[in-house]
A and B are shown apart, each in its own frame.
Chain A
Amino acid sequence: METEPDEYHDCFMQDGVLLKQAPSSHMTALNTIGTLYIYEVTRSGESCNKKLLLEWKQNDITVDSDVQYQEWAVVNTVQKRIRTLSENMPEHHNRSKSLKINFDEIKSFKVCNKNRQLTFYDGTSERICGFLFQHGNCEHLVGMLKTILKVGVSRRDKQIYVVYDSNSPEFQELNRSFAALNLKNEDNSFWHMFKHFKENPYEGSLGAFAKVTNFVYRSVEGSDPDILSRDELYSSITELDDGVPHSGGEYEVINALPQLPRRKEFPRCNPLTEEQWRSQFNSLGQLEDVDSIKNLIFRGGVSPTIRKEVWKFLLDYFPWDSTDLDRQQLINKKNEEYYVMKLQWKSISQKQEDNFSDYAQRKCQVIKDVNRTDRTLEFYAGDNNINIQTLGDILMTYVMYNFDLGYVQGMSDLLSPILWLMQDENDSFWCFVGFMEKVMSNFDIDQAGMKEQLTQLRVLLSFIDPVLANYLEKHDCGNMFFCFRWLLVWFKRELNQDDILRFWEVLWTGYPCHNFHLLVSVAILEHESEALMENDNGFTEILKYINELSGKLNMELMLNKAEGIYNQIKEADHLTDSVRSILGLPLIGTKNRGSEEQSSQQESPFESPDLSTPRTEPCCSVDNVRISPDEIAFEKSISSSFL
């Protein structure tokens, strides 16, 4: 044994690999096709000195680089080729046409372009080299890499795998979390289950531990450490585990230890009082400090005595900087405008209506719906109720105001509390117009706005409660449809009249961020997560559970939690631009040009013309917003199920 020459042992091989990025020494080989190998070298005389190498070797015959991706070729072909090509191994590793990479050099690698592109980095944000996989994708190679290297997913970019060395903070943290778990003194069966992670490739255990530690931290934060029961841990691990090592096509996103900052309490305050409100006006009747008023309203709402007046500002009927005089003139002008529009449809004859089906349809739906709107409130109760009539008149006038949108189910729910409060047709109409401006896209004809909201909700939930988000994904609930009603009419169907007035006025301030109602939704889901994940609940059970929360939600508590969540997100160091953009926070990718995210975006290889085959899908940036592959997959699933 000792006297044998250098011994090569092939561990992996894949052909159809295009060299996309390389050191200057290999410039001429760029964009040519080759084969990637991983092999083990045993030095002669040093049988214990085994070394792994990664090598790309140019093919002898130049293959037309227009070869289309062949997804079907993935596994079998590669194996077959290993057999046929291995005859030429190993001494043919011709230097001029090959590129060798030492595994020690690799500090991180990035998988993108639907797993077809793999780029290696040396840790100084310099590329070592990059490959494009024309036959199938790089999943198998990445699988190999994960068994060879200790890797975790980058906090900043889910497409980047970071190679840990045992001195890295991540690694230390991992060990600490493991130790913390140990302290729980769980009985053997629990650790039994853990064993197979240990025996598994490093990546598998790392991924799973990341989730466990996540779980541990989250639970410990949640005041009662006893909720860290073995069963919960077990289910969270097993459920997460099955997706970790190999997930078909898209890589499982492993939250490698991204810890959210501690959640703070944001107790609600008292409503804005009449005194506070009046004291804010100057002698011209202009509000002095709009921001602090809005902030007070966000914190505690508006006291009922001034609500009628304040809502006109909140709903942009009255401009915030208007004077008394401005408002007087505005009211007269708007009043006139309203009655002109009302007259337009009131004067349509039956005959005209018969010949104007678009109009007739809208009118018909309005009448059907107002008769089913809040009839339990005294204000709208009973036969021939005049307020129901007014509700219909306002909605019909809105149809004339915005005929293209027309009337969509749900709008009567939005108008009802406004009319109930204002008790004035003209004021109610213009306030309703203001509300509609805020939620218009919920009523898109193609439901694009609702799809987007549901997608955004899911992105936020994965950030805050990845365990629940993951559970929903795996139980046919990834589309978040069960939250449709919440979002369409801003919880109108879930809260009682008093609560809805308070809830809406808080949301209308636009504080503390865009889409705060989505954070409220996240707060509720998180609050209910245990019940939602019970008994292997699927779509049916979850929809029922959510629907039955109607009337049981504690609105003030949810606002409190949602604000806590907002602050956690804002301070999280793994905050992504996709989350920032949902909440209207400034995007980092566009501001700090030197940041890692930006640099990886700039080098994005998708600009290369030969990559623009129809199969190529952007998975890097859309208007400077980073979108991870799983988000795209989700969007795809959501839009295909809408189709």
Chain B
Amino acid sequence: MASRKKILLKVVILGESSVGKTSLMNQYVNRKFSNQYKATIGADFLTKEVTIDDRTVTMQIWDTAGQERFQSLGVAFYRGADCCVLVFDVTAPSTFKSLDSWRDEFLIQASPRDPENFPFVLLGNKDDLEPRAISAKRAQQWCQNKNNMPYFETSAKSGSNVEQAFLAIAKNALAQQNSTVDLYNEFPDQIKLTNTQKPSGSGDSCSC
């Protein structure tokens, strides 16, 4: 794929209210942190250009409201995502516990064509705060069971690790997009729709 077509990567940030989704997005895109951000209502996104392996891509980062009852709006915003970023607050155990449901909800609503291999990245945010409630080890364990989801500990406040985390997010999103593009190019239409699973895939969880 040597085409120089503009690449747009859509990234969706999910997690409980107040874990720092809006702050992370702003830290990454604008390199700013403010105590004055408001709770998110509805949805918004910011874009940023990044260079990955000599290719310039545009990341479109979507930020939605965290309170549970607003999740039903998700479908309009999750559609077409290339990567999903799950965020929890390392000082708030409940935000860690709800990760499974955020992940499941995303897969249901976004219904990516290959859910087993859809890229997620986990961020443990507010790394600068004490006391910690969730250790890095515990978070990594959770990730291992989830297709070895990459894990980063970040601070939207200090900016620590934010750049690295989003670079990994961009790479995963790009890889995801390339894999779906390959899928499009390799198979005729009929196969594309029904047989997206790689031969090594464990189950037939798509096409529903």
Chain A residues near B (Cβ < 8 Å): 364-365, 368-369, 372-376, 408-410, 412-413, 443-447, 479, 481-482, 484-485, 488-489, 493, 539-540, 543-544, 547, 641-643
Contact pattern, B 131-147, Cβ under 8 Å of A = 1, otherwise 0: 00000000000000000
Contact A544 B38, beta carbon cutoff 8 Å: no
Contact B60 A540, beta carbon cutoff 8 Å: yes
Q: In the assembled complex, how far is the CB of residue B80 from the closest CB belonging to chain A, in whole angstroms? A: 9
Chain B residues near A (Cβ < 8 Å): 17-18, 35-39, 41-45, 60, 65-67, 69-70, 72-73, 75-76, 94
Contact A445 B69, beta carbon cutoff 8 Å: yes
Q: Which residues of A contact B41 (CB under 8 A)?
A: 409-410, 413, 484-485, 488-489, 493
20 further interface pairs, Cβ-Cβ under 8 Å (given A365-B17, A444-B69): A364-B94, A365-B67, A368-B18, A372-B38, A373-B38, A375-B35, A409-B66, A446-B69, A447-B69, A447-B72, A481-B73, A484-B73, A485-B42, A488-B41, A488-B42, A544-B44, A544-B45, A641-B76, A642-B73, A642-B75
Q: In the assembled complex, how far is the CB of residue A344 from the closest CB belonging to chain B, in whole angstroms? A: 24
A409 and B41 CA atoms in complex are apart in Å by: 8
Name which residue of chain A comes closest to B75, CB basis: A641
Q: Which residues of B contact A643 (CB under 8 A)?
A: 72, 75
Q: Which residues of A contact B39 (CB under 8 A)?
A: 368-369, 372-373, 409, 412
Contact A543 B17, beta carbon cutoff 8 Å: no
Contact B76 A540, beta carbon cutoff 8 Å: no
Contact A408 B69, beta carbon cutoff 8 Å: yes
Q: In the assembled complex, how far is the CB of residue A404 from the closest CB belonging to chain B, in whole angstroms? A: 13
Q: Which residues of B contact A482 (CB under 8 A)?
A: 42
Name which residue of chain A comes closest to B38, CB basis: A372
Name which residue of chain B comes closest to A369, CB basis: B39
Name which residue of chain B comes closest to A374, CB basis: B38
Name which residue of chain A comes closest to B66, CB basis: A409
Contact A446 B72, beta carbon cutoff 8 Å: yes
Contact A539 B17, beta carbon cutoff 8 Å: no
B17, B42, B44, B66: which has the most chain A beta carbons within 10 Å? B42
Name which residue of chain B comes closest to A380, CB basis: B36
Q: Which residues of A contact B43 (CB under 8 A)?
A: 481, 484, 543
A410 and B66 CA atoms in complex are apart in Å by: 12
Contact A368 B72, beta carbon cutoff 8 Å: no
Contact A447 B70, beta carbon cutoff 8 Å: yes
Q: Which residues of B contact A410 (CB under 8 A)?
A: 41
Q: In the assembled complex, how far is the CB of residue A490 from the closest CB belonging to chain B, in whole angstroms? A: 12
- CB pairs A–B below 8 angstroms (17 shown): A365-B67, A372-B36, A372-B37, A373-B38, A375-B36, A409-B39, A409-B65, A409-B67, A409-B70, A479-B76, A484-B42, A484-B43, A485-B41, A488-B41, A539-B76, A543-B44, A642-B73
Contact A481 B42, beta carbon cutoff 8 Å: yes
Q: Which residues of B contact A540 (CB under 8 A)?
A: 45, 60
Q: In the assembled complex, how far is the CB of residue A382 from the closest CB belonging to chain B, in whole angstroms? A: 10
Q: Which residues of B contact A446 (CB under 8 A)?
A: 69, 72
Q: In the assembled complex, how far is the CB of residue A221 from the closest CB belonging to chain B, in whole angstroms? A: 33
A364 and B60 CA atoms in complex are apart in Å by: 31
Q: In the assembled complex, how far is the CB of residue A359 from the closest CB belonging to chain B, in whole angstroms? A: 14
Q: In the assembled complex, how far is the CB of residue B43 from the closest CB belonging to chain A, in whole angstroms? A: 7
Q: Which residues of B contact A479 (CB under 8 A)?
A: 76
Q: Which residues of A contact B70 (CB under 8 A)?
A: 409, 447
A539, A540, A547: which has the most chain B beta carbons within 10 Å? A540
A485 and B35 CA atoms in complex are apart in Å by: 21
A376 and B72 CA atoms in complex are apart in Å by: 31
Q: Which residues of A contact B42 (CB under 8 A)?
A: 481-482, 484-485, 488, 547
Q: Which residues of B contact A365 (CB under 8 A)?
A: 17, 67
Q: In the assembled complex, how far is the CB of residue B14 from the closest CB belonging to chain A, in whole angstroms? A: 15
A290 and B44 CA atoms in complex are apart in Å by: 42
A129 and B74 CA atoms in complex are apart in Å by: 47
Q: Which residues of B contact A374 (CB under 8 A)?
A: 38
Name which residue of chain B comes closest to A361, CB basis: B94
A444 and B70 CA atoms in complex are apart in Å by: 10
Q: In the assembled complex, how far is the CB of residue B25 from the closest CB belonging to chain A, in whole angstroms? A: 13
Q: In the assembled complex, how far is the CB of residue A358 from the closest CB belonging to chain B, in whole angstroms? A: 12
Q: Which residues of B contact A376 (CB under 8 A)?
A: 36
Name which residue of chain A comes closest to B22, CB basis: A372
Contact B17 A409, beta carbon cutoff 8 Å: yes
A369 and B22 CA atoms in complex are apart in Å by: 13
Q: In the assembled complex, how far is the CB of residue B132 from the closest CB belonging to chain A, in whole angstroms? A: 18
Contact A408 B75, beta carbon cutoff 8 Å: no
B35, B39, B73: which has the most chain A beta carbons within 10 Å? B39
Q: Which residues of A contact B60 (CB under 8 A)?
A: 540
Name which residue of chain B comes closest to A370, CB basis: B39
Q: In the assembled complex, how far is the CB of residue A86 from the closest CB belonging to chain B, in whole angstroms? A: 35
Name which residue of chain B comes closest to A445, CB basis: B69
- Which of B18, B38, B44, B94 is within 8 Å of A547, CB to CB? B44
Q: In the assembled complex, how far is the CB of residue A356 from the closest CB belonging to chain B, in whole angstroms? A: 14
Q: Which residues of A contact B65 (CB under 8 A)?
A: 409
A506 and B15 CA atoms in complex are apart in Å by: 37
Q: Which residues of A contact B69 (CB under 8 A)?
A: 408, 443-447
Q: Across chains A and B, which 9 residue pairs bring their CB atoms closest together, nearest first?
A: A484-B42, A368-B18, A485-B42, A375-B36, A409-B67, A485-B41, A642-B72, A481-B76, A372-B39
Name which residue of chain B comes closest to A492, CB basis: B41
Q: In the assembled complex, how far is the CB of residue A49 from the closest CB belonging to chain B, in whole angstroms? A: 52
Q: In the assembled complex, how far is the CB of residue B151 from the closest CB belonging to chain A, in whole angstroms? A: 24
Q: Which residues of B contact A539 (CB under 8 A)?
A: 76
Q: Which residues of B contact A544 (CB under 8 A)?
A: 44-45
A365 and B39 CA atoms in complex are apart in Å by: 10
Name which residue of chain B comes closest to A550, CB basis: B44
A447 and B37 CA atoms in complex are apart in Å by: 24
